[in-house]
C-alpha cells in the first residue's frame, strides 16, 4: 500500500493545494500529516498565500483519508474547525509490515527518541529539514538501530531545501519536490 507523508503546511493555501494535488496524483491511500497545519508560529514568516480558512476547507474535504498528529503550533481551537483528530502527540502505525512512530518532532526526535525497538521507524516534521537515514540512537539506557525520516516542510523549508513531501510505496520511502523531483530515497 502507498502512503503520503507531509508536514508543516502552516496555513498556506498555496502549499496545501500543492500537497493535495500531489496526494491525488500519487495514488496513496492515506495522507499522514505530521503537524503544524494552520498556524505559522511566531518564529516563522507568513508562508505564501497564508489562508488558514482555505486550508481548513481543503483538509476537511479529505477527513476520511487523513491521519494527523499535533504539532507545536496546533491547538484545541484548530481541532474545533478540523473534522479529523489532530491533538494526539504521536501515532503508532504498522505500514507494510514496518512499525512507525509518527510525531511532530518537537518532543520526540533523533536526539530524544520514544520507546522504540531495532528496525522501527521514527517519522517527524518540525525541523523543516528533510531526512531519510538509518541511525543508532540512544534512549538513555540503550542504543537502538532505527530509521529516522522527515518529509521536510511543504510551505517553509529551511536549510536550503525545497518544499517537499514523501511517499511510502511498499518499503521505499521517497522524498519529492512538488515538481516531481526525487530528493532522497531509502529502502526500509
What is the model's pLDDT at position 138? 85
What is the model's pLDDT at position 141? 81
- Distance from C-alpha of 129 to C-alpha of 152, rounded to nearest angstrom: 5
Q: At how many degrees (to 10) do helices 13-26 and 52-60 cross?
A: 20
Cα dist. 30→8, 39, 42, 156, 159 in Å? 17, 23, 30, 23, 28
What is the model's pLDDT at position 118? 95
Q: What is the pLDDT along the chain (188 residues), one digit of tens a residue?
A: 999 999 999 999 999 999 999 999 999 999 999 999 999 888 888 899 999 999 999 999 999 999 999 999 999 999 999 999 999 999 999 999 999 999 999 999 999 999 999 999 999 999 999 999 999 998 778 899 999 999 999 999 999 999 999 999 999 999 999 999 999 999 99
What is the model's pLDDT at position 66? 98
The strand ranges marked E within 19-152 are 30-33, 66-68, 90-95, 98-103, 121-123, 131-138, 143-150
What is the model's pLDDT at position 30? 98
User: Which of the listed CATH numbers 3.40.50.150, 3.60.21.10, 2.30.30.140, 3.40.50.1360 matches domain 2-187?
Assistant: 3.60.21.10
Q: Which residues of 120-148 are buried (b: 16+ CB within 10 A; e: fewer)?
A: bbbbbbbbbbbbbeeeebeeeeeebebbb
Domain-by-domain residue ranges, the chain?
A: 2-187
Alpha-carbon radius of gyration of the chain: 15
Give the contacts of 51 (CB within 8 A, at least 6 positions apart): 11, 12, 13
- Distance from C-alpha of 81 to C-alpha of 127, rounded to nearest angstrom: 25
CB 150 within 8 A of CB 130: yes
What is the model's pLDDT at position 98? 95
What is the model's pLDDT at position 9? 98
- Distance from C-alpha of 38 to C-alpha of 79, rounded to nearest angstrom: 10
What is the model's pLDDT at position 169? 97
CB 21 within 8 A of CB 163: no
CB 81 within 8 A of CB 69: no
What is the model's pLDDT at position 6? 98
Amino acid at each position: 500500500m502507498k502512503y503520503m507523508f507531509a508536514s508543516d503546511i502552516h496555513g498556506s493555501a498555496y502549499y496545501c493545494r500543492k500537497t493535495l494535488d500531489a496526494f491525488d496524483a500519487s495514488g496513496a491511500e492515506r495522507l499522514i500529516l505530521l503537524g503544524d497545519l494552520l498556524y505559522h508560529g511566531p518564529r516563522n514568516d507568513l508562508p505564501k498565500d497564508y489562508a488558514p480558512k482555505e486550508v481548513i476547507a481543503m483538509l476537511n474535504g479529505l477527513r476520511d483519508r487523513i491521519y494527523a498528529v499535533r504539532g507545536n503550533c496546533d491547538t484545541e481551537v484548530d481541532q474545533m474547525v478540523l473534522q479529523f483528530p489532530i491533538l494526539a502527540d504521536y501515532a503508532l502505525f504498522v505500514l507494510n509490515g514496518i512499525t512507525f512512530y509518527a510525531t511532530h518532532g518537537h518532543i520526540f526526535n533523533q536526539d530524544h527518541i520514544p520507546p522504540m525497538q531495532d528496525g522501527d521507524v521514527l517519522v517527524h516534521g518540525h525541523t523543516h529539514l528533510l531526512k531519510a537515514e538509518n541511525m543508532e540512537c540512544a534512549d538513555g539506557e540503550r542504543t537502538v538501530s532505527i530509521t529516522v525520516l522527515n518529509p521536510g516542510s511543504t510551505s517553509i523549508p529551511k536549510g536550503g531545501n525545497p518544499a517537499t513531501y514523501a511517499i511510502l510505496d511498499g518499503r521505499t520511502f521517497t522524498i519529492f519536490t512538488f515538481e516531481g523531483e526525487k530528493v532522497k530515497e531509502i529502502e526500509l
